[in-house]
Amino acid sequence: SSQPHSQLWLSYRPVSAGYAVHASARFQELVCPETGDLALAGVSPLWRACEELLAGLEGMLGRRPSRVNATGTAPALLLQLQPSSPDDAISGAAERSLAWPPSPADEGYSIHLNTLHTVISSRSPQGVLYGAFELLRRLRREDPGALAGGGEVVRSAPSAPLRHWDLWDNLDGSVERGYAGPWQHRFDVAAARSSVVYPLGQQRDEQRAHDLARLLASVGINGIGWSNVNACDHGNQHLLSSRNIASMRALVALFYSYGIHSFLTPCFDSPQIVGGLFTSNPQVPEVKAWWAKKIEEVAGAFGDAFRGLVFKGNTEGQPGPGSHGMSQLQGANFFAELLEEVGAICIWRAFSHPEGGVDQALYQFQRFENWDGEARWNVALKIKNGPYDFQVREPVHSLFGHLSNTSLILEFQAAQEYFGHAKHLVALPSQWSSYLGFDLSSRFPPYNVQTLAQVASGGIGRMPFSGIAAVSNIGTSRNWTGHVFSAVNTYGFGRLAWTPTTPAADIMREWVEVTFPRSSSYAVSVLTRMLQRSWEVYENYTSSLGWGFACAANHYDLDDMDRRRHTDHRASATHIGYPRNAGGGYASTYNAKVAARFQSIEQCPEELLLSFHQVPYTHRLRTKNNSTVLEWIYRSHMSGVNAAEGFVTDWLAIEGHVDLGSYPGDAFVDITTRLEIGASDAAAFAKSIREYFETLTGCGLRDGRLQCH
Ligand code: GCU
């Protein structure tokens, strides 16, 4: 039934002959220990590590190592499980003697390159698996260091305990904000029939599901959310039916064998919809009893693979505690109490829209600012990177600097909802790493620096279930992500979540090298450079200076742009920007040092100027060649269009130098077409923006100079 799909960065095609000879001499035998403890359905990540190494070494080196029980005189690769140390357990979780989440130290690994043997060891089975994938990555890149024998050691451990991948798949087979649908629809909005895991009415492609687990584990993902946060539509309201739970068991077990825990996102009204009760009001004893039983049922079916429920309540039409006079906090605590019984957590999403003319940023802050000390120990608040909605550039959400005794999960979006829907080239690791490195400063002396990455890794307070999550960009298209280049966002997310301080450029280069392995080094540089520039280029031809919400898709919706005058960019004939700098405004919700910076028009980073300040169009920008704001709006759009056109030229110039062997079909043509669409959309966006602001202000750019009538 299945069309061949790409193996992306796990395509184990041969390395060059010279390297293969050296490498296969070093890996003649493979020693795998018997088992590990993470076993549901009998398969542990240790076993997966062995399987993966056998397949990878055979594919890349042309010779399958023999599997032996102990080392002899032949050079071997050994997998080793070491005892874990109680000292490293995560505080908070340890107090409750919870075996989960695994401590980063336990999930870390080392690779010892001894004279004769190579040893991958970890204190956890999944740590061994991560080490195996790291070795395979090094071999894929033909790293001579991976074959060294001088006692060298590679060590690595993740920063954040939770590293989650969130599918927004619907049980009806579509994907919310899915742009990677069936091949024949590749240039339409491809949400329908694009779910890899819920192929409505059809047999699931098991190989695909299996490969998804491998791809995610290979970059260190250890948790998955299976379905859309809009949990009461598209068939999702039946997620908790006994039939669905039973049918998901094999999938949950499969992912668990790769060290990936499962989280379910049920509809708040499940007691009525699934249970047939007359209400879903949690204050009614029957409702509480129903949830308790249901949670037991899920935990019974999924075992230790089940680690929690995720809720989005009372926003965008979803029911929630507010529907019954309860606060968000009461709702989260209600579920957390029930989930505690099975050692699981309640993940509560902070994203929400206000009613009326309230500032969304301020609204979200106020909705959750008092959770410290109030939320139960096993609640984690999941917060988008910024307070708007995955825009091209936002300030880091102020809740991250504010809460310190509530577990916080940082939520990114790999799906390109506001980034040209996987038709445009946008490599998000640059954006993500700029957020992760942002210094929120601390409210707690003696600490004064606290980056977002540190918060997401557990911060300086008590936040045992902190972590980093991304909304998936995966679909059924044969290349998985719609745009071949969008896979850098899947890969890059995992690698950044593992080590948030890695420079984005390194991650993107690594992705290029493992995905297009036999390319010329010139082509690798060109590609890496394209990826590196793409975020800024996209920002230039959509919305610079942090005004946000200008572009949703493959078209510029000027009506929407105009409607958002009231809620977002606040553009008038003479001024633009949202004055969040005023006393009591959103800027004041940051810790003092950060607040002062955002509130000052001189110190506010100019990329975010219009997020905090309302300025006249004549305001001069110190970091943009002294352009005025209006000049910069026009100029940045022009430069964005030029750069998007340049991507097409750059790409065509490396034809024949890029190894596209990981992809089925004519990937070169497909990529070219998408880059061309990106360039022509960019031109259309820029034209719309020019017309919009010319009409609004009466001023336009002629021959590089502003002229008003
Ligand atoms: C955005 C997105 C929705 C999504 C929502 C959320 O508004 O467009 O599809 O449901 O975010 O994150 O809850």
Token pair, residue 254, equals 């499969």
pLDDT surpassing 50 at residue 626? yes
The whole-number pLDDT of residue 559 equals: 75
Render 148-166 in DSSP notation, one character per residue. --SSEEEEE--S-SEEEEE
**Total-model pTM:** 0.96
User: What local confidence, expressed as pLDDT, does residue 201 receive?
Assistant: 79
Q: Which residue is catalytic, options 166, 304, 417, 631?
A: 417
* Closest approach atom of ligand 1 to CA 471: 12
The pLDDT value recorded for residue 665 is 84
* Protein residue whose Cα sits closest to atom 11 of ligand 1: 389
Q: CA-to-CA distance for 282 and 465, rounded, in angstroms?
A: 25
For 291, 361, 426, 551, 607, the CA distances from 544, given in Å and listed in that order, are 47, 19, 15, 11, 7
- Mean pLDDT, to the nearest integer, of 260-287? 98
Domain range list for the chain: 8-156, 162-511, 541-578+614-708
The number of residues making up the chain comes to: 709
- Give the tens place of pLDDT for each residue, 6-50: 999 999 999 999 999 999 999 999 999 876 554 555 688 999 999
Q: How confident is the model at residue 88 (pLDDT cuts 50, 70, 90)?
A: low
Per-residue pLDDT at 92: 64
Mean pLDDT score, 105-117: 95
Position 186 confidence tier, pLDDT thresholds 50, 70, 90: very low
389 carries an active-site annotation? yes
Report d(CA 9, CA 547) in Å as an integer. 36
Query: Tokens 């300025």 identify what position?
Result: 615
pLDDT at position 700 over 60: yes
Could you tell me which residue, 36 or 441, shows the higher pLDDT? 441
Residue 664, pLDDT above cutoff 90: no
- Per-residue pLDDT band for 300 (boundaries 50, 70, 90) equals very high
Ligand 1 midpoint to CA 309 (Å): 18
What is the atom index within ligand 1 of the atom nearest the CA of 353?
Answer: 7
| Domain 541-578+614-708, CATH among 3.30.930.10, 2.60.40.10, 3.60.150.10, 3.90.1330.10 | 3.90.1330.10
Task: Please tell me whether residue 444 adopts helix, strand or coil conformation.
Answer: coil
For the Cβ of 416 lying below 6 angstroms from any atom of ligand 1, the answer is: no
Residues in Cβ contact with 520 at an 8 Å cutoff, skipping those fewer than 6 apart:
654, 657
- Distance of alpha carbon 259 from alpha carbon 502, whole angstroms: 23
- How confident is residue 230, by pLDDT bands cut at 50, 70 and 90? very high
Q: How does DSSP assign 290-352, residue by residue? A: HHHHHHHHHHHHHGGGEEEEEE--SSTT---GGGGT--HHHHHHHHHHHHHTTT-EEEEE---
Q: Sort 276 into a burial class: Cβ within 10 Å, 0-12 / 13-18 / 19+.
A: exposed
Which of the following is catalytic: 316, 341, 369, 666? 316
* Domain 162-511 top-level CATH class: alpha beta
- Which among 577, 570, 620 is positioned nearest to 598, based on CA atoms? 577
Question: Could you confirm whether 681 is annotated as catalytic?
Answer: no
Give the position of tokens 């996102």: 265
261: pLDDT strictly greater than 80:
yes
Q: Say which of 58, 233, 389, 694 is annotated catalytic.
A: 389
**193 — pLDDT class (breaks 50, 70, 90):** confident
Q: How far is CA 612 from the centre of its chain?
A: 26
pLDDT at 555 over 60: no
Amino acid at 460: I
Distance 673 CA to ligand 1 centre (A): 28
Q: How far apart are CA 568 and CA 610, in angstroms?
A: 9
The arithmetic mean of pLDDT across residues 296-325, rounded, is 96
For the cut 60, the answer to whether the pLDDT of residue 552 exceeds it is no
What's the mean pLDDT in 491-496?
98
Instruction: Give the H/E segment covering residue 10.
Output: none
On the question of pLDDT at 621 being above 80, the answer is yes
Q: Ligand 1: does its nearest atom lie under 6 Å from the Cβ of 351?
A: yes
Write the pLDDT tens digit of every residue in 315-345: 989 999 999 999 999 999 999 999 999 999 9
- The 10 Å Cβ neighbour count of residue 445 is 6
CB 118 within 8 A of CB 145: no
Lowest-pLDDT choice from 28-37, 131-140, 170-179, 212-221: 28-37
Q: Which ligand 1 atom is nearest residue 413's CA?
A: 12
Reduced to 3 DSSP states, what percent helix, strand and coil does the chain have, rounded to the nearest 5? 40, 10, 45
CB atoms within 10 A of CB 207: 12
Q: How many CA atoms lie within 13 A of 251 on its CB side?
A: 20
What residues are paired with 412 via a beta bridge? Answer: 470
Residue 294 confidence (pLDDT) above 70: yes
Does the interface ipTM go beyond 0.95?
A: yes
Distance 231 CA to ligand 1 centre (A): 11
Distance 316 CA to ligand 1 centre (A): 8
- pLDDT of res. 37: 53
C-alpha span between 656 and 669 (Å, rounded):
12
DSSP string covering 461-496:
SS-TT-EEEEE----SSTTSSSSGGGHHHHHHHHHH
| Cβ pair 391, 451 in contact under 8 A | no
What atom of ligand 1 comes closest to residue 228's alpha carbon? Answer: 10
Pocket flag, ligand 1, residue 177 (CB < 6 Å): yes
Ligand 1, atom nearest to 315 Cα: 13
Ligand 1 contact, 418 CB (< 6 A): no
Query: Is there an atom of ligand 1 within 6 Å of 312 CB?
Result: yes
Q: What percent of the chain has pLDDT over 90?
A: 81
Distance between CA atoms of residues 122 and 156, nearest Å: 10
Cβ–Cβ < 8 Å for 619, 631: no
Q: Does 354 score more than 50 pLDDT?
A: yes
Residue 120 makes CB contacts below 8 A (sequence gap 6+) with 49, 77, 78, 79, 80, 109, 110, 111, 128, 131, 132, 135
Residues 277, 322 contacting (CB under 8 angstroms): no
229 touches ligand 1 (CB under 6 Å): yes
pLDDT of residue 35: 62
8-state DSSP, 265:
-
Is 316 a residue of the active site?
A: yes
Query: How far is the centre of ligand 1, averaged over its atoms, from the C-alpha of 465 (Å)?
Result: 23
Mean pLDDT computed over 624-652: 97
Tokens of 441: 């400063």
Q: Ligand 1 centre and the CA of 611: distance in Å?
A: 20
- According to the CATH classification, is domain 8-156 in 3.30.379.10? yes
Regarding the beta carbon of 389 and ligand 1, being less than 6 Å apart is answered yes
Q: For position 190, what pLDDT does the model report?
A: 55
